[in-house]
Chain A
Amino acid sequence: MLAYHLRIAAKSLRRTPILSALLVAGIALGIAVSTAFVAAYHTMAKDPIPQKSKRLFWVTLDAWDPKRPYNDDQPKDPPEQLTYRDAMALMNSPVPTHKTAMFKTRLTVFPNSRDQRPFRARTRVTYGDFFTLFDVPFQYGAGWGKEADAGPQAVVVLDHGTNEKLFGGRNSVGQPVRIEDRVFTVSGVLAPWFPKPTFFDVMNGAFEEPEEIYVPFRWTPIMKFQTAGNSNGWTSWGNGYEDMLASEGTWIQYWAQLDDARQKEAYQSWIDGYAREQKKQGRFGRPLNNRLFDVQQLLDWEQVVPRSSKTMLVISLLFLVVSAVNLIGILLGKFLARSPEVGVRRALGASRRHVFLQHLLECELVALLGGVVGLVASVPLLHGIDRLARSADDPALYQLELPVLGAGILLALVAGLIAGLYPAWRICRIPPASHLKAQ
């Protein structure tokens, strides 16, 4: 019966092509606008690592100024990042399955080819667990192991673009690369990788491209790396590099993988124990406030999705509703003009339910066509929003991903329901006898 209703609906649409095109265009307009904003919102709000987002925890310790909170607006919030000394202490915890301290810097890379000029590469200073924690995909080789962390060994992981730049995209594992004043050996090359948002470092721009090179953390005190990311402090950072490492300045990010509630509880207990020890040494003057945020909690806490995006999303959905409501009158007129045919069908055995379904399906067919046209139209619209949201040199931020396409079609069908429910209900309530003589 469904196929029959659809066939009748298709015939009805072909009977009035201009009116049908108008209806499809009405839905398409609403879908194009709403889908573009849904896509933009989805990019910001989606779970970037759904397979383990509940097991990855951003670790915070409240070693801030005892006299005033870190955030005056949210006085219960601890600082987002850790001091160097606390991060190093946490690296000694045996509880997490994987863990890493890390920060962002910029280092000078000297290409092997004399034709290429040295360049400043966005660099992540981290532990080998980084690649395991975040399921980072490799094109060649792999990250480095515990020995390289401990050494530290002069190993480097290149991202896909940097490997293209330095080695023409060839397998460069084992090749030397000079970084600053040392020669590092390539241990792995990443496959193209740009999680959105870049959840592992929302402190430095949740939609920034990931780093170009990755080097072991323990080179920090040796090569005196400076952070290129956000940092905060409430005491002096001191005069020299050693002072900075010993200071209360927070600039290190810390992640731990805790696979179940028991492990999380054990880790919470471990870091609280560490904080109590520090209290005895005169640090951690504030009440105990060491918190673990899973990925979604971190994104919410850091307000990765700005309020304006949520507002735009709501406005675009309202626009779709208004588009659909505008079609009610047109559909009602179209359906009522067909009352005599409905009368005949009722006389021949169609129930109100049949008539209602047939007309609702016609609306849904219009909505489906409008949805497809709207999705196509949303591509240039999303491109326009994307260009407004980033600088011209950055890679595209917003894309129409499969879930968004599905959402677009679903929205179209909902719009079809909004537009079609009342006209379909009206036409099915018309007494069958009233139009038979008029036919």
Chain B
Amino acid sequence: MIRMKNVSKVYRTEHVETHALSSFTVDIAAGEFVAIMGPSGSGKTTFLNVAGLLDTFDQGNYWLDGQDVSRLSDRAMSKLRNEKIGFIFQSFNLIPDLDVFDNVDVPLRYRGLPAKRRRELIEEALAVVGLTARLKHYPAQLSGGQQQRVAVARALVGTPRLILADEPTGNLDSAMANEILDLLERINGAGTTVVMVTHDPELATRAPRQIHVLDGRMLDLAAEAATPLFRPGSTIGGSSLGEHQPAYRG
């Protein structure tokens, strides 16, 4: 689903160059549920932005669902985002002056579907997250958990092949967080690829595969453990990974 090869992304200011991704290589198959972990500033969000075509990259190659997206126009990338990717953000990112129905409607509007079809899809998506009774509520009238469920419905409504979730439980208590994870597991169970950035090792373990990002590079623990390159206590990119579990910050 996601195949990146030697992808690099550098943020430049007048005096500083920050290598957010350095020769980043990853392969995520369709239908996988992957947790992306790493300390703050390690490049997790940059990876998610590049994977979600929200940001460009400087070098390397990226195939999304088999399609080379290295040199697409803005219009083509927007279409791909709209049709293939669903986003879930830590702070929900609902539009405050749109009600639940209209918030979930946003991606469908850009797809140009007729009103009747949009209504069907919205009602289906809200049924999945259990919010059909709250169609006319505004985000401010909902709890954090409910808002994130609306965001999940919005990500789901266009039946994407890939869900990118950036700290989807970061602003929720543990009960709500588990609820959202349950939802993501159900979505993944239906065949949708889910890539979730999280700080929470416990939540990450619910994903069958964890990818660790450090200094803009990928450490795929499951894959790397099997290779002689990775040994507990070894140093990669100047950081000690610890014996069993990396020490996370932020």
Contacts and interface: CB of A to CB of B under 8 A. Distances in A.
Interface of A: 1, 4, 11, 14-15, 340-341, 343-354, 431-433, 436-437, 439
B107 A344 contact: no
A344 B95 contact: yes
A349 B78 contact: yes
B54 A347 contact: yes
Interface of B: 45, 49, 52, 54-56, 74-75, 78-79, 81-83, 87, 89-91, 93, 95, 97-98, 106-107, 109-112, 154, 158, 166
A81 B112 CA distance: 68
Given A11-B97, A433-B55, A436-B89, A347 B81 contact: yes
Contact of B55 (A344, A345, A352, A431): A431
A347 B110 contact: no
Contact of B79 (A4, A11, A14, A349): A349
B110 A431 contact: no
Nearest to A349: B82
Contact of A348 (B75, B112, B154): B154
A348 B110 contact: yes
Nearest to A347: B87
Contacts of A433: 49, 54-55
Nearest to B52: A347
Given A347-B52, A439-B91, A1 B81 contact: no
A241 B166 CA distance: 103
Nearest to A352: B74
A350 B91 contact: no
A1 B78 CA distance: 16
Nearest to B154: A348
A106 to B, nearest CB: 70
Contacts of B56: 431
Nearest to A341: B95
Given A1-B109, A436-B54, A351 B78 contact: yes
A349 B89 contact: no
B74 A349 contact: no
Contacts of A350: 78, 110
B54 A348 contact: no
A97 to B, nearest CB: 59
Contacts of A4: 109
A404 B83 CA distance: 47
22 contacts: A1-B112, A4-B109, A11-B97, A340-B93, A343-B93, A344-B89, A344-B93, A344-B106, A348-B81, A348-B82, A349-B78, A349-B107, A349-B158, A350-B110, A351-B74, A353-B75, A354-B110, A431-B55, A432-B54, A432-B55, A433-B55, A439-B91
Contacts of B45: 437
A346 B82 contact: no
Contacts of A1: 109, 112
Nearest to B74: A352
A242 B87 CA distance: 99
A340 B90 CA distance: 14
Going nearest first, the 8 A-B pairs with the smallest beta carbon separation are A349-B82, A351-B78, A349-B110, A433-B54, A433-B49, A433-B55, A348-B107, A432-B54
Contacts of B79: 349, 351
A431 B54 contact: yes
A431 B49 CA distance: 11
A346 B91 CA distance: 16
A326 B22 CA distance: 45
Given A348-B110, A437-B45, 12 more contacts: A341-B95, A344-B106, A347-B52, A347-B87, A348-B81, A349-B82, A349-B107, A351-B74, A351-B78, A433-B54, A437-B166, A439-B91
Contacts of B98: 11
Interface centre among A11, A340, A346, A351 (most CB of B within 10 A): A351
Contacts of B90: 437
Contacts of B95: 341, 344-345
A347 B81 CA distance: 7
Nearest to B87: A347
A253 B111 CA distance: 69
B82 to A, nearest CB: 3
B97 A15 contact: yes
Contacts of B111: 349
Contacts of B106: 344-345, 348
A423 B4 CA distance: 35
Contacts of A436: 49, 54, 89, 93, 166
A282 to B, nearest CB: 82
Contacts of A340: 93
A343 B91 CA distance: 13
A273 to B, nearest CB: 71
Contacts of A351: 74-75, 78-79, 110
Interface centre among A4, A348, A354 (most CB of B within 10 A): A348
A348 B56 CA distance: 17
B54 A346 contact: yes
Contact of B87 (A15, A348, A353, A354): A348
A174 to B, nearest CB: 68
A351 B83 CA distance: 13
Nearest to A353: B75
B151 to A, nearest CB: 10
A347 B92 CA distance: 13
A373 to B, nearest CB: 24
A426 to B, nearest CB: 15
Contacts of B54: 346-347, 431-433, 436
Contact of A439 (B82, B83, B93, B112): B93
Contacts of A11: 97-98
A439 B49 contact: no
Contacts of B107: 348-349
Contacts of B154: 348
